[in-house]
Amino acid sequence: MLTRIYKEDKDVLKEYLMSRTQDLSTDVLVTVSNIIQDVKNNKDEACLKYTREFDHVLLDTMEVTKEELDIQISKCDKDFVEAMKLAKQNIEDFHKLQRQNGYLLQKEMGIYLGQRVLPLEAVGIYVPGGRAQYPSSVLMNALPAKIAGVKNVVMVTPPDSEGTIHPNIAYAARLAGVDKIYKIGGAQAIAALAYGTQTIDRVDKIVGPGNIFVAAAKKLVYGTVDIDMIAGPSEILVVADENANPEYVAADLLSQAEHDPMASAILLTTSEDLLNSVNQQLSKQSAILPKKEIVEQSLKNYGKAIVCDSLEDCISISNEIAPEHLELMISNPMEYLQEVKNAGSVFLGYYTCESIGDYFGGTNHVLPTSGTARFSSALSVDSFIKKSSYLYYSKQAIEAYAKYIETIASEERLQAHANAAKVREK
């Protein structure tokens, strides 16, 4: 059941949703900091020690060999393989259009200046292990990096109880073109990627989700390397009109509620009848879900609904919340798309469930959470590039413009700067 609130309380709702973000406690940060320092000092030895301690697996080496990969991939279901191949094509089709080109600007007296777009050299992808396995996340993280031109895409993932990796993760890595795979998880994996070990080379950026220890490690190594984000619990907001199918609305809300007890599912609608029908459907559908307890806890704590006077009001409130996933389950969604200012990804119409974007449609599912869609973007090819400018002045040009450079530098009391231009006037 969704708890109905009133639009006058929307600010309370925003604060309530923001409170879901897990604080990285001092104890967690100290523990993770110690692990990072140990990996910096002792490298492979520390990584293997923590794998024994936390994953209860004794490994001789962390690297996944081609032979091991082949064996795991051979266990994959053929229908899964077919679905992943189609998903890969859709993801590539969408992300290839994000590639950027540099530019050259030519001016008077032999001046030219421009910008180059350069791929990062090496990127590390963290893939969670344990009971969950998310091969779709391998595609979503690795394919944009490959399209950007990253030469070395490295994947780290915790080993299972048998000391290997899940077959579906193995297949996804090969399909996406991952260059090397290592059986290591947790904060120690993040430290290994950030600082390097005898086996694992350091990278320039680390992407991918993980538990609170992984999040803390990413936070602590940021600056030594870049990271994608510190993601919060998943969230969905559905804007629905009176013609929306309550069965569809409920199913989509539940698709996020099953992620985590802290996941949020929000419905903004113009129809009180629809809200009542959705609540009936939520009870009916959640009763048969394998993760029923998680769903019920999520909906109890963070399942909310507001009945608004108009679709414009719905979208205005949505913009203030800035949800990770926004569904416009209305009859004419394209007419309202331009009104959406803050959302990680938008799903249009009655038939575009959020799970299309999670797995198959082609848009990226690594999205800003906890209101950060106000200022940040989905993972993309842009996440794996850097931009570098260049500039050329001829002798004639510096002689013509040196006095202006000297004037500004002198006003800033940086005489050596001024002199660097002045000596070239001769």
E strands, 56-203, where? Answer: 103-106, 112-119, 122-126, 152-157, 180-183
Catalytic residue among 296, 324, 327, 354: 324
> How many other CB atoms sit within 10 Å of the CB of residue 287?
10
The region that residue 349 occupies, defined by phi over 0 for left and psi between -120 and 50 for alpha, beta otherwise, is left
Q: In angstroms, how far is CA 393 from the centroid of its own chain?
A: 41
Helix count and strand count (H, E) for the chain: 17, 14
Catalytic residue among 325, 327, 365, 406: 325
User: What does the alpha-carbon distance between residue 340 and residue 362 come to, in Å, rounded to a whole number?
Assistant: 20
User: What does the alpha-carbon distance between residue 178 and residue 157 come to, in Å, rounded to a whole number?
Assistant: 13
User: What does the alpha-carbon distance between residue 189 and residue 184 come to, in Å, rounded to a whole number?
Assistant: 6
> How many other CB atoms sit within 10 Å of the CB of residue 78?
7
For the annotated binding site for NAD(+), the residues are 126, 188, 211
Which of 374, 358, 235, 233 is closest to 304 using CA atoms?
Answer: 235
Q: Are 225 and 193 in contact (CB under 8 A)?
A: yes
For the annotated binding site for substrate, the residues are 234, 256, 259, 325, 358, 412, 417
Give catalytic status of residue 166 as yes or no: no
The region that residue 196 occupies, defined by phi over 0 for left and psi between -120 and 50 for alpha, beta otherwise, is left
For the annotated binding site for Zn(2+), the residues are 256, 259, 358, 417
For the annotated binding site, the residues are 126, 188, 211, 234, 256, 259, 325, 358, 412, 417
Tokens of 102: 């540099």
| Concatenated DSSP letters of 179-204 | -EEEE--HHHHHHHHHH--SSS---S
User: What does the alpha-carbon distance between residue 17 and residue 373 come to, in Å, rounded to a whole number?
Assistant: 14
> How many other CB atoms sit within 10 Å of the CB of residue 107?
10
By annotation, the residues acting in catalysis are 324-325
